[in-house]
Amino acid sequence: MKIGVFDSGFGGLTVLRALLERLPGADFSYLGDTARLPYGAKSQATVARYAVSSAHFLVEQEKADYLVIACNTASALALDAIREAVPVPVLGVIDTGANAAQATTKTGDVLVMATAATVESHAYSAACGRRGLRAIEKASPLLVPLVEEGWIDHPVTEEVLQIYLSELLEEAAEAEFQPDTLVLGCTHYPLLRPNFERALPESIRVIDSAEVTAEQVAAELCLPAEACTPDGKGHSRRFYATDSVAKFRRLGSRFLGEEINGVELIDLGG
Amino acid sequence: MKIGVFDSGFGGLTVLRALLERLPGADFSYLGDTARLPYGAKSQATVARYAVSSAHFLVEQEKADYLVIACNTASALALDAIREAVPVPVLGVIDTGANAAQATTKTGDVLVMATAATVESHAYSAACGRRGLRAIEKASPLLVPLVEEGWIDHPVTEEVLQIYLSELLEEAAEAEFQPDTLVLGCTHYPLLRPNFERALPESIRVIDSAEVTAEQVAAELCLPAEACTPDGKGHSRRFYATDSVAKFRRLGSRFLGEEINGVELIDLGG
């Protein structure tokens, strides 16, 4: 069983990290389309074209049996296009986040923090709406650069997060929401999960989309028990980037939580 | 006389703004290669390929007589490739910044703040070195997202700038530098020029690369005086982007200092 994990960059490595913990007996190929990141500012047609070429690579070249789209923008804008383009099951992080919110919330009122592009797509609102939940989405564009700068336990990050969260909670109060769940709608944010938990009232639970995605992959695949326990065998973990292998190694190790060696550069055109 | 101005995104509009003030009688075409931004994280080969296709568009389609590369990354990594590819004069913002530093500094010790990619290229150090100056470059990756978030007069921005500048001044003291000049080595930073001037000791002059680039274009072109004075005629100002026209209009107006209407979407492939 080989699982292909795709993101525009490094953030999806937080999803891979959760998958590796839960499915140590599976093979993994991770593709970061770093030459064309960020997807966030791009149109749906462009994102779909990029995402489909990346999915083709993972399925045709890498022989992945299952695809995880660990990129919120691609999940929001290109999931249907990817599903049409490849003959394997495809799971996107927005549906997994919304599923987890549904399982967690008692009030039915959900908060989502994400990048500007994800918020503008309103994909979380739509996914929550289909599950009978109300959602308020808040763009927090400074969090990704703060994480990439490595300012995790840093007063500036605390202050920025405080500003975003108080704006979001104010908006929720005005809309007469009773939020008890906040979805981290960007694969960079799991690195700030403790910061979120410190800054939020205790009544609000934080949903880490990386973790819940890994849970749902394990459940959907109904894998034999051995795939879910370490078997001491060397299962393959391959890393591909479309540009800047050195940066991928350096930044990516922070997201994956372990050293990344042997990133291969591939050319998808563009 | 038509001047083509090229950047990977919106930042170069600060250069266009300075050019419009100084050369109101010239025609301008501005191209933001927004579908492929940011160039910063990409390899030299990729940046050169993107920049050359953009330069071809401005010269062949738009009939520009002169090109200003208002993008530090492209100036650092692709200036020679662009000069080989088009038959018109090409000016890059790194040389103009280094020229202005040379004209300003008395100690010969120059500080440069820029994005990570520009710093990693060491293009400013090299350009300063060729002019007999010493330079220390400092990456300040949070400033671009702060400007794009619109947090110009904001305590978080003051704090971030203070952190970067004190690290830079400390490094300068350790290297026994006597800096009297700081170059804003990113086209987003002119929007923070007052913040820089407030945060720096009075002994350090700030070089705004947008402004000095406009001065040098005017000087190099030896334009007839009428191009440098408003003549009441409607000279063309055309705007092109490779993606996300709405975002270009919204963000770009902040950089240009006036409303941008009529951005045209073009496809350069990729």
Q: Is A103 on the interface with B (CB under 8 A)?
A: no
CB distance B97 to B148 below 8 Å: no
pLDDT for the residue numbered B37: 79
Residue B246 has pLDDT above 60, yes or no: yes
pLDDT for the residue numbered A222: 66
Q: Output the furthest CA–CA distance in chain B (Å, rounded).
A: 55
**Which has the closest alpha carbon to B195: B154, B167, B229, B252?**
B154
User: Is residue B129 within a helix (H) or strand (E), and if so which, with residue range?
Assistant: helix B123-130
Name the H helices within chain A. 13-22, 44-56, 72-85, 93-104, 116-121, 123-130, 143-148, 155-174, 193-199, 209-221, 245-256
pLDDT band, very low/low/confident/very high, at A67 (cuts 50, 70, 90):
very high
Q: What is the mean pLDDT of residues B172-199?
A: 96
- Do A142 and B141 lie within an 8 Å CB cutoff? no
Q: Is B53 on the interface with A (CB under 8 A)?
A: no
| Gap from A150 CA to chain B (nearest CA, Å) | 11
| Listed range (B29-38, B143-152, B166-175) with the worst mean pLDDT | B29-38
Asked whether the bond before A38 is cis by omega within 30 degrees of 0, the reply is yes
Chain B neighbors of A151, CB-CB under 8 A: 142
pLDDT for the residue numbered A244: 75
In tens, the pLDDT along B205-240 reads 999 989 999 999 998 886 666 667 776 677 889 999
The larger pLDDT score, comparing residue B118 to residue B85, is at: B85
Q: Nearest-CA residue of chain B relative to A142?
A: B145
Q: What is the mean pLDDT of residues A163-185?
A: 97
Residue A39 tokens, joined: 């997807």
Could you count the other beta carbons within 10 Å of the beta carbon of residue B63? 12
- Do B145 and A149 lie within an 8 Å CB cutoff? no
Q: What is the mean pLDDT of residues B108-116?
A: 95
| Listed range (A181-185, A247-251, B197-201) with the worst mean pLDDT | A247-251
Could you count the other beta carbons within 10 Å of the beta carbon of residue B84? 10
- Of residues B41, B146, B163, nearest to A142 (C-beta): B146
**A15-29, A153-167, A213-227, range with greatest mean pLDDT:** A153-167
In tens, the pLDDT along A31-55 reads 999 888 778 767 788 889 999 999 9
CA distance A109 to A180: 7
Q: What is the mean pLDDT of residues B98-119?
A: 95
**Which has the closest alpha carbon to A239: A265, A268, A257, A214?**
A265
pLDDT band, very low/low/confident/very high, at A223 (cuts 50, 70, 90):
low
In tens, the pLDDT along A136-167 reads 999 999 999 999 899 999 999 999 999 999 99
Q: What is the mean pLDDT of residues A169-184?
A: 97
| Gap from A94 CA to chain B (nearest CA, Å) | 23
CA distance A146 to B68: 32
Residue B131 has pLDDT above 90, yes or no: yes
- Do B141 and A149 lie within an 8 Å CB cutoff? yes
| Gap from B105 CA to chain A (nearest CA, Å) | 31
In tens, the pLDDT along A78-136 reads 999 999 999 999 999 999 999 999 999 999 999 999 988 889 899 999 999 999 999 99
Q: How many percent of chain B have pLDDT more than 70?
A: 96
Chain B neighbors of A35, CB-CB under 8 A: 42, 46
Q: Model-level pTM?
A: 0.87
Q: What is the mean pLDDT of residues B24-35?
A: 92
In tens, the pLDDT along B50-72 reads 999 999 999 999 999 999 999 99
- Do A43 and B243 lie within an 8 Å CB cutoff? yes
CB distance B115 to B40 below 8 Å: yes
CA distance B111 to B104: 12
pLDDT for the residue numbered B106: 98
Q: Is A115 on the interface with B (CB under 8 A)?
A: no
Residue B29 has pLDDT above 90, yes or no: yes
